[in-house]
Amino acid sequence: MPKRLQRTERLRLMKFICSFAWADLEVRDEERAFIAKMMKRLELDEEEEVQVQKWLELPPRPEEIDPTEVPREHRQLFIDAARAMIVADGRISEEEAEIFELFEQLIR
């Protein structure tokens, strides 16, 4: 994990992570715990945490999530974080696997 991502990139990463949490239409406790851990690791400020909590209540809209907007230097970080998110609850749904595969293809 980079020392400090810029605010825009921190929020973009968390938006992607939250969208993966919603991939199977349910955000489980283990996924919430993973997201809380990521917020701590990224040292989100209060305003950023509030935004992430909103994404946990209502998923980001698909048009707000564009893998091509992820800077090249952060792409592996986003892939690794998304992969960790989908395995956080110990099960990978078919929807999660399909979305991750598409995401990985688009971001590379």
Q: What is the pLDDT of residues 16-35, one digit of tens each?
A: 999 999 998 999 999 999 99
Give the pLDDT score at 108: 84
Domains in the chain: boundaries: 7-107
pLDDT at res. 71: 92
Per-residue pLDDT tens digits for 36-83: 999 999 999 999 999 999 999 999 999 999 999 999 999 999 999 999
Q: How many helices (H) and strands (E) does the chain have?
A: 5, 0
Q: Measuring CA to CA, which residue among 101, 87, 99 is closest to residue 23?
A: 99
Query: Given a cut of 90, is residue 2 above it in pLDDT?
Result: no
Which of 25, 20, 24 lies closest to 38 in space, CA to CA? Answer: 20
Decide if pLDDT at 1 tops 80: no
pLDDT at 102 over 80: yes
Q: What pTM was estimated for this model as a whole?
A: 0.91
